[in-house]
Amino acid sequence: VGIVRYEYDFPENVVITDKTRHATENVTRVYWEHLGKPIFEKAVDKVEDEALSPYYISMHLHHQGMYLATASLLKAWKDRKNCRFDEIRDRPSNPKNPSQPTEGTQRVWMSSQMLYGGRHCGVKQLLPVDNFGQLTVLHLPNKNYRRVGKQGRIGGNDNAPKNEFSDGTEVFQRSHPLLLKALELHVEMKKEFPNLQKSNIGDGGQYTGVRVVDTDVKRHHFHKDHKTAFEKRLNAYKDYVSRGGYLIE
């Protein structure tokens, strides 16, 4: 089962405040990666399998945020021809220019292309029609919908407006320090309720939370060496696990 990404199409030229809140009157969720009308010809595909077709659809472009799979499916994909889904690996790239991906970025590769691509696993994307909206996920940066119709982007052409990027000189105003941050509340609750400090510990004292895997993905072709930062974060994660999934200040 796939989980499609969405954003909210706030006006590009307005900062939403109490003074401009009426600008949100027509703001709605948009699935910016999936364009074209009629929708069921250009953006969405019906599933051909007769047993599944009353309950599922697929997106014409199979980009998505993530997927759900059972243990039996993961085992089947491991043995599926050309799939190698159990192997964490880098996205396909141009042999002459390894930094240039040939089938999308690493995120696209891991979330969809490796699983659905015809040259790879070739699995069929299924999206439930009865609760489609519940199985979607907000793309937190909420910026990609603004790319649509720009040069080099979805729906754009050579005569379209250019897509502008940061030049590093931008200065941003921070939010008010009185705002309660989720991480701050998380830490304080762990302090006030000691039983929560071991909430990620199962039988035998083993950590049962989210696992981070150290892979052998090659990083030599990156322009910037991230090895030091990677090792620092991995060590911080190991400390986190040793505390039973308990964050400290």
Query: Is the predicted pLDDT of residue 232 greater than 80, yes or no?
Result: yes
60-89 exposure pattern, b = at least 16 Cβ within 10 A, e = fewer: bbbbbbebeeeeeeeeebeeeeebebeeee
What lies within 8 Å, CB to CB, of 64 at 6+ separation is: 2, 3, 4, 5, 111, 112, 125
pLDDT in tens, 97-135: 988 999 989 999 999 999 999 999 999 999 999 999 988
The residue with tokens 């969720």 is 29
Per-residue pLDDT tens digits for 134-163? 889 999 999 999 999 999 888 999 999 998
Residue 197: pLDDT above 70?
Answer: no
- Percentage of residues in the chain with pLDDT exceeding 90? 55
Q: Which residues contact 110 (CB under 8 A, 6 or more apart)?
A: 91
pLDDT digits (tens, 9 = 90+) for 16-37: 999 999 999 999 999 999 999 9
Q: What integer pLDDT is reported at residue 223 of this predicted model?
A: 47
Residue 52, pLDDT score: 95
Give 206's pLDDT tier (boundaries 50, 70, 90). confident
